[in-house]
Chains A and B, each alone.
Chain A
């Protein structure tokens, strides 16, 4: 007897302009603990999505749902216009994947070109086509020297290995490139350099990218950012829009003091009427978020009343890090309260 298969309903807002379209996806590995809860997000062609969150936030699970490695309990997911489960063989042709650790994802005894050939052949590409493509990508990734391409990967530096891994992920000209923690373990200079290379690739080939990271620098390179916390999507949108969602459209008071007590003073300032949030910003420096930045004078006088010697102040724009710190803090408090209950 034939079983009638229940056809999944396609959400009304779905259209083929999206490279990633995810609606109300929930995941549980053991059937009890929900590791991803009703996550909805989308990404248009050529955009870069940053999946940001702390450890155990559900970032990798979210990416695995997008690549069809994990089946959600419920929800709708389309990646590169493919049903990630019934059209898996088509999907793998359209995506590229760059894992977090190079030593787990590259053949160290072989050169960058050999690695590209090993992986590229699975896409029915000829060795010469792969090598041509690999050279092109590696050039964008800063591998000007041909000898570097032929050197065994084990003799390359950390940053070079990372770039080889990215090149391997791009060898099949994927529509979407998934990168798992591409900047983890790299020094600040290399982090920026890798992110710049990714941006170059995005501009050059129009490759849609999904970057999983707990590194907030990534947000500056992303078209959209999804912030995950304990499996819940707590913020999704363009980084600028998210920052503007802070009080006073993301404008804040950047204040330098002669001397502050970091244990008590930020709390005292926060109690002032009109002050929404206070963040430490270095030695004797605070970022003060107020509900109305145009009416700052009464707040400054109240700060003086607290016997705090204000050295100087400026009105500045908040960064994505500030957004994350404020939202993250409130989430931590919320989560703690939930656990307490």
Chain B
């Protein structure tokens, strides 16, 4: 390598380092950014956990079970459910009602909120389970009473998981936490909420704060009259925010640890995957910031982009789009590593998608900033 190239690379490195220093100083002085980066994730993680505690601990859930099967398996299921909710089955009231009469009574009682749900165990429940390893049952909840319905669904789900664990009829999609024996405690409820939000909150907050990085840096136009290159600006902004993300991740993981949420993956793997999630959010945020003309526009872009991603991720779930959606990849990658104990190698496809997304946002950003006329 010629001396000039080495000199030029050193100059670049020095300019980028200087811009990172400036960016970090600016960021740490900005109270709103600090609030978004460090307070919101903490509040959200705790709120979701506490919210689920409220939905379950303080509601006495009554469930009626109408058992048309009356086999060993159906009885065992009822016993599993009893561990989590107050169950009244047709066998408990067989002196007063037949199964059909008890079903009619359940239909009448559900809207009165005396019960949170009723479950119908159809005939053949045990046979199907033994023969095919699959079976079905109907759970009826009162959707108008949202909190009761939520609590009932969650607790019935816990009972079912327990039942399936005992009967060895493991179906992967039912088991969200296969190693866990669910109990009604704060940490387990936090754990139930955490997989879906930790990575998303980190992605979103990094994304949101980064949307102000270029458009909010008003004197940047003057900085660009110095030997600083536009591509260096993009590199420095991304790196500066990724340094902040490190602190953010440490705080979030510390919070999970404080609430005794068991993490099954290696700490370094969990850390790296969260950092990658944040990096994807940051690169998208800096891109929004470069494209926007005002701070408000940048914030709107974040909101619009996030809503679209959320809708596609949660509702549309198009297989053609999902692999490229950072939100989906972020959430699945983190859940797999943190809660299923998978290694990074096992989720290499998700990692590659996230790296690809980051690289795409980063490249578009450099190209766009180079052509941006407002800086002339």
Stretch at the interface among A7-15, A116-124, A226-234, A251-259: A116-124
Min distance, Cβ A100 to any Cβ of chain B, angstroms: 11
Is A119's CB under 8 angstroms from B223's CB? yes
**Contacting A122 at CB < 8 Å: which of B26, B218, B221, B226?**
B226
In the complex, the chain A residue whose C-beta lies closest to that of B228 is A122
Is A99's CB under 8 angstroms from B222's CB? yes
Tell yes or no: B319 within 8 A of A by CB.
no
Interface residues of A in 75-96 (CB under 8 A from B): 89, 92-93, 95
Do most interface residues of chain B lie in helix, strand or loop, or is the interface mixed?
A: helix
Question: What 1/0 flags go to B207-250 for Cβ under 8 Å of A?
Answer: 00000000000110111011110000000000000000000000
A residues within 8 A CB of B22?
107, 118
In the complex, the chain A residue whose C-beta lies closest to that of B15 is A122
In the complex, the chain B residue whose C-beta lies closest to that of A126 is B14
**Contacting B26 at CB < 8 Å: which of A93, A103, A105, A107?**
A107
Min distance, Cβ A111 to any Cβ of chain B, angstroms: 11
Is the interface on chain A under 10, 10 to 19, 20 to 34, or 35 or more residues?
Answer: 20 to 34
Is B227's CB under 8 angstroms from A121's CB? no
**Contacting B227 at CB < 8 Å: which of A92, A99, A110, A114?**
A92
In angstroms, Cα B226 to Cα A106, docked, is: 14
B residues within 8 A CB of A70?
376
Is B225's CB under 8 angstroms from A124's CB? no
Tell yes or no: A21 within 8 A of B by CB.
no
**Residue of B29, B221, B226 contacting most chain A CB atoms (<10 Å):** B226
Is A104's CB under 8 angstroms from B226's CB? no
Interface residues of A in 183-198 (CB under 8 A from B): none
Is A119's CB under 8 angstroms from B26's CB? no
Interface residues of A in 53-73 (CB under 8 A from B): 64, 67, 69-70
Interface residues of A in 142-179 (CB under 8 A from B): 168, 172
Question: What 1/0 flags go to B50-65 for Cβ under 8 Å of A?
Answer: 0000000000000000
In angstroms, Cα B222 to Cα A95, docked, is: 12
Min distance, Cβ A87 to any Cβ of chain B, angstroms: 12
Min distance, Cβ A212 to any Cβ of chain B, angstroms: 14
In angstroms, Cα B219 to Cα A114, docked, is: 14
Tell yes or no: A109 within 8 A of B by CB.
yes
Q: How many B residues touch A, CB cutoff 8 Å?
A: 19
Is B223's CB under 8 angstroms from A122's CB? yes
Tell yes or no: B136 within 8 A of A by CB.
no
Is A122's CB under 8 angstroms from B219's CB? no
Min distance, Cβ B31 to any Cβ of chain A, angstroms: 11
Is B11's CB under 8 angstroms from A124's CB? yes
**Residue of A67, A105, A109 contacting most chain B CB atoms (<10 Å):** A105
Tell yes or no: B25 within 8 A of A by CB.
yes
Is B18's CB under 8 angstroms from A67's CB? no
Interface residues of A in 121-146 (CB under 8 A from B): 121-124
Min distance, Cβ B80 to any Cβ of chain A, angstroms: 60
Min distance, Cβ B333 to any Cβ of chain A, angstroms: 37
Tell yes or no: A320 within 8 A of B by CB.
no
In the complex, the chain B residue whose C-beta lies closest to that of A99 is B222
In angstroms, Cα B66 to Cα A152, docked, is: 73
Tell yes or no: A97 within 8 A of B by CB.
yes
Is A123's CB under 8 angstroms from B227's CB? yes
A residues within 8 A CB of B218?
103-105
B residues within 8 A CB of A107?
22, 26, 219
Is B376's CB under 8 angstroms from A69's CB? yes
B residues within 8 A CB of A64?
376
Question: What 1/0 flags go to B1-29 for Cβ under 8 Å of A?
Answer: 00000000001001100100110011001
**Contacting A105 at CB < 8 Å: which of B11, B18, B219, B227?**
B219
B residues within 8 A CB of A110?
25
In angstroms, Cα B228 to Cα A183, docked, is: 27
**Residue of B218, B223, B227 contacting most chain A CB atoms (<10 Å):** B227
Interface residues of B in 179-226 (CB under 8 A from A): 218-219, 221-223, 225-226
Question: What 1/0 flags go to B155-180 for Cβ under 8 Å of A?
Answer: 00000000000000000000000000
Is A67's CB under 8 angstroms from B26's CB? no
B residues within 8 A CB of A93?
227
B residues within 8 A CB of A114?
25
In angstroms, Cα B222 to Cα A106, docked, is: 8
B residues within 8 A CB of A103?
218
In the complex, the chain B residue whose C-beta lies closest to that of A88 is B227
In angstroms, Cα B20 to Cα A122, docked, is: 12
B residues within 8 A CB of A104?
218-219, 221-222
In angstroms, Cα B327 to Cα A179, docked, is: 47
Query: Given known contacts A118-B22, A122-B18, A124-B14, is B376 in contact with A105 (CB within 8 Å)?
Result: no
**Residue of A103, A104, A121 contacting most chain B CB atoms (<10 Å):** A121
In angstroms, Cα B25 to Cα A105, docked, is: 17
A residues within 8 A CB of B221?
99, 104-105
B residues within 8 A CB of A109?
26, 29
In angstroms, Cα B219 to Cα A109, docked, is: 12
Query: Given known contacts A89-B227, A92-B225, is B219 in contact with A106 (CB within 8 Å)?
Result: yes
Interface residues of A in 16-36 (CB under 8 A from B): none
Min distance, Cβ B5 to any Cβ of chain A, angstroms: 13
Min distance, Cβ A106 to any Cβ of chain B, angstroms: 6
Min distance, Cβ A93 to any Cβ of chain B, angstroms: 6
A residues within 8 A CB of B225?
67, 92, 95, 97
13 A-B pairs whose Cβ atoms sit less than 8 Å apart in the complex: A95-B225, A97-B222, A104-B219, A104-B222, A119-B222, A121-B15, A122-B15, A122-B223, A122-B227, A123-B226, A124-B14, A124-B15, A168-B222
What 11 new A-B contacts, CB under 8 Å, besides A67-B225, A97-B225, A105-B221?
A: A97-B222, A103-B218, A105-B218, A105-B219, A105-B222, A106-B219, A107-B26, A110-B25, A121-B14, A122-B226, A124-B14
* Chain B residues near A (Cβ < 8 Å): 11, 14-15, 18, 21-22, 25-26, 29, 218-219, 221-223, 225-228, 376
Nearest 10 Cβ contacts at the A-B interface:
A121-B18, A122-B226, A105-B222, A97-B225, A122-B228, A118-B22, A92-B227, A109-B29, A69-B376, A105-B219
